[in-house]
Structure 1
Amino acid sequence: MSEELYFLQDSITVVLMGYENKGYGQEKFWDSLRTVLAQKYAVVSKIIIAEIAAKKHKESKALPQDILENPIPKETISVSGVSAAMKEIVSKEQGQGYLVLVDLRESPVYLKYSAIISMVFALQRDKNVGMLYSDYGLITKESVQERHLLEYHEGRLRDNLDLGKVYAFPVEALKDIQIDESLKYSCLYDLRLKISEKYSLKHFSNRTDGSLYEIESSAKAHNVFDYLQDAREAQKEMEDVLKRHLKRIHAYLEPGKYPGKIPADNHKGDILISILIPVYRRPEFIATAIESAINQTLGKKVEVIVIVNGGDHDPTARIVRKYMPGGSLYSPEASDVRLLVLDVNNIGLCLNLGIKMARGKYYLQLDSDDRLKAFAAEEVLNVFQQHPNAGMVIGSYEVWEKKLDGSLLRREDIPVVKHEEWTRENGRNNLLRINGAGAPRAYHIKIVEELGFFCMNDDPHARNYGEDYDMVLRISEKYPIERVWEPIYEVVRHPGGTDHSIDQHTIDRNDNAKDRMRLIALERRKKISM
């Protein structure tokens, strides 16, 4: 029998965190534990099974015989939550050594037998690292899909950032931060933000067959409305976690402090709101969007500018011209429709040239496959007039779905999207945690000009994505942003939509774009807070 070969003798504690009642079955939990027992080349000093229970108790499930016979010391503790478990475990650890956390709350996790040696060795190579996470394989019915995670930086402030299910820490780093055992939902979010303030986070990446573990889980389709299903209590707790983090890194914006000044009102003409519709090859949608825009209750105080960015052969332009003088659908009583055609598909460029062309004081954006309610422009104008210092106004919307027969159906399972996480006191800070701000978005045109217009795919990763989010960040740092809480907009979901059934590569690229915008926003905000 060959002698076991160990390259690391450091103290390594492995924590398996799971619910007492496991949705995927107890046997798969034991299988996950068996992959920890099978680790090679590094000595696991002890294993702690932390069971999250509605009520703490001293009884624990009997371990299978083969697990009992393994000589690695094992302990089962009953805890009320992740925070309480981490607080208790870290307090008992010695100052040196490493802790590996395996999150088994939602699905089983199977470590490769070289996983722990890989993670601990990587931590030893760089003493500035306080947390290590790894690419992983996702086991589906058809195959194992490689999941390549994003490199961490200070702008990765989203609470839903995927860092996998296995994390390695130097015990010293965990003892160097204050674990808040009062947190019910956001312990790991709080943990990595606190660690990032003092240490770096390292990503163990995979090219081919280099993932350290696999997760057994059915692949979940990307859903931009996922956060709406989260309990308000959980959302509020994560907001507070981020708020405290921003204060510690001196990037928090205090309520009511806005250095910007709205320019004097020298607007001329009757048109107050310009509705801009950028569109690329959507002749089947554009008529509905235009009709919702030209029939606003403000009448001639509204103009509609459609920017077709598919060039002269884009069939959308032909539909738009029907609503212009001489067209078959033109009405002199309706709002004016104007057309700009570009042969470069660039949303930022569309918006910037549309603003240059606009005769209104404010600009209201309408996506080409969505609809405005008839009173939308009037509601937005009322809010601007009631709040003359506002740099922009954001509305609320309903989600509709276009069926295969062309009919539109209101999605009753999705509540009105109000972005209630946006409060007057903390909305602009909380925006850094969430990928959206709401719709429709209406801007004071002079403020957009003052801030240098929209980015035009000239920022890394921004490919017709995030230009509006970047503008909201920048405006919020200087001017108040007001809200319309009643739905004034209808988002229409369909298979060709930009947020419908997008692949992981696109999701990652989009997240990279907005996370970089957050990173730059943090630097601006640190200067503001000085």
Structure 2
Amino acid sequence: MTKITIMLPIYCQDQAVEVQLGGLKEQILQEAEVMVVDQCGRGATSLPARKVLEREKRAIELPGLYDNIAGMRNHALSQAQGEIFLELPPNIRLHSEACKALLQAVEQNPKAAMFYSDYQEVLPDGGRERKKLMDFFGDITERFDFGHLRVYRTEALRDLGGWDESFNSAHDYDLQLRLMEKYEILQVPQVLYDVLISEEEHEAANIGASKLFFPGTGKYGGFSYLFYDEREEKEIERACQQMLKRREAFLDHENQTVTYSEAEKFPVLASVVIPVYNRERFIAKAIESVLRGTLKEIEVVVVDNGSTDRTKEVVRKISQKDPRVRLIENHENIIALSLNLGWRAARGKYIAQLDSDDEYLPETLQAMTDHLESHPRAALAVSYYDLMDESGDVLEEFGVIKHLEYSRNNIMRCDGAGAVRVWHKKVIAEFGGFDEKELGHYGEDYDLVLKVTEKYDLDRVHQVLYRYRRHPDNTDAKRDERMKLWNKTVARHRALKRRRELNWRLGEEQLAEGSKQ
């Protein structure tokens, strides 16, 4: 009886199949079929495919030419006899117990339809490095790291209609989203395969991420999603939007306007809030970048989170020379608490955020407040930014970060809206400020962006007005990756619930309005 269907794709004439064959031969569980999908033979069986067919007795050839990977997989799925369906990519060697462990996981977890596991990288020098993956807890972005092998329950794949062949790039992401709505995704707690890393891959890995000090998958680590090509980005956006529509969480209503009464007056136009912890090297540069600005109706509110270095001393020295700078001492190092202390103490109409190791440009606050003054539907405005290194030199190779992928729907899969962020103070107050309870250490500003844009607009100011410094001591680089993903996932799932309720309420209001006419 066939337990597992293994699809082995052949993509090029010089594809090395020995690694894949070695893993198949060593399997403890042998009740498997191997489907060789030859994409490079063009009518005649290619040399790599012939090798597999000659050396693997369970292998059968599945002929056909396909428009994309989704079509290829769907054809294999239509012929599959196994309870489990998996694609075995090049340079992947299954461990001997892999098929047996996967079958056990499928049998023991009837609600799960997709499985993944830890793996081991085999480096060019023979070194081995285990890659420990996180448990899956509902991430709705395309960036969750499932490793190199996704394994599916065959009947669930068929129930979902397989892969959507209208996607050339986002087929796996779309399937992940549809699968999550009906089934579970489960991590098998074992190392089940090796990934052989070539010399070229090893040298190229994370060249960009090493300069950005932002862990994550892809060449640019956590920034990688900002560098998709346009076609891939549009496909991913479409998959996300389709998911939101299925969940009744897609927003298409007209947002409201931020209004003020004549009685609302402000001593200054903009307050810059800077939370800080142990940043004696950079805090003066951050503050001085604000004070050098062309807008003079401003104040700087620095909230120290219990620094143990000379940070407070540096801030006090600046405040003695310029009374527009104030220091608030907070003894708890909780970023959301610091932001709340800062904006509540601020006297400006607008609240501008500045991280303690970043910098403004001279025209930053003038440009941002001019935009907000002339665009009353915008509750916050966000500019473009440059990345700079520890010394303040712009990292030209990464270009200007524009976040043009932003929309109030697409933000549900993005990690942020960009910087500099300038808010109406009254709007922050309307939504209760930043979440200290659940998102105290990360994701607090992302969460507030999600809330605010459900009612008001976020506008993009098309200028570089912020300098984002990347260095080894970046807070992003030091935070626990699981906590970061958990906090963002919490924020997104709360937003899904709010948006469904908002759409239901708006729908009821439209029905009531229609019945009056």
Is the CA contact (8 Å cut-off) linking 2:52 and 2:59 kept in structure 1? no
Amino acid at match of 2:15: Q
Please name the residue that 1:88 is paired with: 75
* Residues 450-478 of structure 1 deviation map (CA, whole Å, 9 limit, x = unaligned): 2121122x31xx56221111111111122
2:314 paired residue among 301, 308, 319 = 319
2:470 paired residue among 493, 506, 519 = 493
Does residue 374 in structure 1 map to residue 362 in structure 2? yes
Change (3 A) 1:284 1:126: closer
Amino acid at match of 2:367: E
Change (3 A) 1:494 1:382: same
Please name the residue that 2:280 is paired with: 283
Is the CA contact (8 Å cut-off) linking 2:38 and 2:46 kept in structure 1? no
Please name the residue that 1:16 is paired with: 8
Change (3 A) 1:139 1:527: farther
2:133 paired residue among 149, 154, 164 = 149
Is the CA contact (8 Å cut-off) linking 1:37 and 1:72 kept in structure 2? no
Please name the residue that 1:6 is paired with: none
Q: How does 1:449-460 map to 2 (within 5 A)?
A: 449-456=429-436, 458-459=437-438
Does residue 194 in structure 1 map to residue 178 in structure 2? yes
Structure-2 separation of matches of 1:113 and 1:79 = 32
Please name the residue that 1:26 is paired with: 15
**Secondary structure of 1:455 counterpart:** coil
Please name the residue that 1:522 is paired with: 496
Structure-2 separation of matches of 1:419 and 1:373 = 19
Structure-1 separation of matches of 2:119 and 2:432 = 41
Amino acid at match of 1:162: D
Change (3 A) 1:428 1:317: same
Is the CA contact (8 Å cut-off) linking 1:152 and 1:202 kept in structure 2? yes
Change (3 A) 1:244 1:79: same
**Secondary structure of 1:464 counterpart:** coil
Deviates further, 376-385 or 237-246: 376-385
1:392 paired residue among 362, 380, 389 = 380
Amino acid at match of 1:145: E
Is the CA contact (8 Å cut-off) linking 2:289 and 2:360 kept in structure 1? yes
Change (3 A) 1:261 1:42: farther
Is the CA contact (8 Å cut-off) linking 1:50 and 1:85 kept in structure 2? no
Is the CA contact (8 Å cut-off) linking 2:387 and 2:467 kept in structure 1? yes
Is the CA contact (8 Å cut-off) linking 1:263 and 1:446 kept in structure 2? no
* Residues 35-83 of structure 1 deviation map (CA, whole Å, 9 limit, x = unaligned): 12332224012333454x6x96544224576861432123265544321
Please name the residue that 2:405 is paired with: 421
Amino acid at match of 2:242: R
Does residue 438 in structure 1 map to residue 435 in structure 2? no
Structure-2 separation of matches of 1:66 and 1:152 = 34
Is the CA contact (8 Å cut-off) linking 2:35 and 2:76 kept in structure 1? no
Structure-2 separation of matches of 1:315 and 1:87 = 62
Give the alignment's TM-score, normalised by structure 1. 0.85
Please name the residue that 1:252 is paired with: 250
- The structure in which a higher percent of residues are helix is 2
Identity %: 31
Does residue 173 in structure 1 map to residue 151 in structure 2? no
1:164 paired residue among 107, 126, 147 = 147
Instruction: State the aligned residue count.
Output: 483
**Secondary structure of 1:41 counterpart:** coil
Please name the residue that 2:212 is paired with: none
Change (3 A) 1:143 1:454: farther
Please name the residue that 2:59 is paired with: 73
Change (3 A) 1:88 1:266: farther
Please name the residue that 1:122 is paired with: 105
Structure-2 separation of matches of 1:444 and 1:17 = 54
Is the CA contact (8 Å cut-off) linking 1:296 and 1:377 kept in structure 2? yes
CA displacement at 1:101 relative to structure 2:
2.0
Please name the residue that 1:225 is paired with: 223
Structure-1 separation of matches of 2:397 and 2:105 = 46
Is the CA contact (8 Å cut-off) linking 2:256 and 2:377 kept in structure 1? no
Change (3 A) 1:65 1:383: closer
Give the alignment's TM-score, normalised by structure 2. 0.87
Q: Provide the alpha-carbon RMSD of the alignment.
A: 2.5
Structure-2 separation of matches of 1:519 and 1:18 = 39
**Secondary structure of 1:303 counterpart:** strand
Please name the residue that 2:32 is paired with: 44
Please name the residue that 2:194 is paired with: 214
CA displacement at 1:487 relative to structure 2:
0.6
Task: In structure 2, list runs of 5 or more residues that go unmatched.
Answer: 210-214, 216-220, 505-517
Structure-2 separation of matches of 1:30 and 1:392 = 56
CA displacement at 1:349 relative to structure 2:
1.0
Change (3 A) 1:56 1:230: farther
CA displacement at 1:395 relative to structure 2:
1.3
Amino acid at match of 1:34: G
**Secondary structure of 1:297 counterpart:** coil
Please name the residue that 2:396 is paired with: 412
Is the CA contact (8 Å cut-off) linking 1:60 and 1:76 kept in structure 2? no
Structure-1 separation of matches of 2:254 and 2:47 = 55
Structure-1 separation of matches of 2:89 and 2:49 = 19
